[in-house]
Amino acid sequence: MAEYKERRPQAVMISKRVNVFYLEHVRLMQKDERVVYLTEGNHGIDQFVAIPDKNTAFILLGKGTSITDAAARKLAESNVLVGFCGSGGSPLFGVIDVAFLLPQDEYRPTSHAQKWFALWANDRTRIEMGREFLRYRVTYDKRMYKKLKIEVPELIFDTFDENITHCETITDLLAAEGRFAKALYAALASVYSIPKFIRDAGAKKKDNPEQRVNSFLDHGNYLAYGYAAVALHGMGVPYFLPVLHGKTRRGALVFDVADLFKDWLVMPLAFRCASEKAKNNQFRAEVIEHALKHEVLDDVMGFISSLPDKVT
């Protein structure tokens, strides 16, 4: 009789992974070859909840969490990124910085990083990379705002697109981006009837629509950073090679990549959920659902892969 051998589940491709977890007040550990988190159930009885690590993109650990070395090793084997953050998904260790524990995989692809290094080291091509980032961003935004039927003036996107063409330096590109972001915030504030909104990252929470939007933006941005970190890590491109954010910031490319899709993924949901007085977990669930439904990882990894061919 042939011996039965249990088959271990195969990891899902990074770009196709379904799950993202935000956890608070739990202990993450390994139990019976599975990654689980321990939480207190009804009547004080501890409960173990399994995490499908082979189909998880990243995990954010918030307040009151801990992780064992065995769980960290198991997650690394499945190529799952782990990030530490504050309550609700906003930062704990810095205002904008984000800390991710990267799986130490010796066999990630090198071709993307080698091409990126060559382009990044040249001032002229780095500016062109930044221009391509913004062109992709505005095209992506226009497509998704139409698809999601969010009615903001198309002139906002067209003006940004035109300004990108005339920029000659990274400073020019950042200035054009700043004007675009300001116009988009104002348009969304009008759509969702929150006219007094002013972007104030890290602001103290108050019970009014404006601060609810700011709070959701902070939380949603860190989910976006997670997706960006997963895409870059999966393709083997180092985080410290940004094209728009400061060259001295160790994770700046994560912010550049997150900006590619934050405008349509995080911003409209933040305004809508604030206007509906939604809870933090409802907002996070919608961001994750939209990211999966609209294949954010696929789109972003495709752009990163094609970028070197667009820059001459």
Task: Write out the binding residues for Mn(2+).
Answer: 177, 245, 259
H or E stretch including 205? none
How far apart (Å, rounded) are the C-alpha atoms in residues 174 and 123?
Answer: 16
Q: In whole angstroms, what is the distance from residue 201 CA to residue 217 CA?
A: 8
Q: Is 293 helix (H, G, I), strand (E, B) or coil?
A: helix
- Residue 229 near residue 81, CB atoms below 8 Å: yes
DSSP state of 235: H
Residues 6 or more apart whose CB falls under 8 angstroms from that of 259 comprise 133, 137, 177, 244
User: What would the two tokens of residue 199 be?
Assistant: 């972007």
For the annotated binding site, the residues are 177, 245, 259
Contact indicator for 266, 221 with CB cutoff of 8 Å: yes
Inter-residue contact 274 to 216 (CB < 8 Å): yes
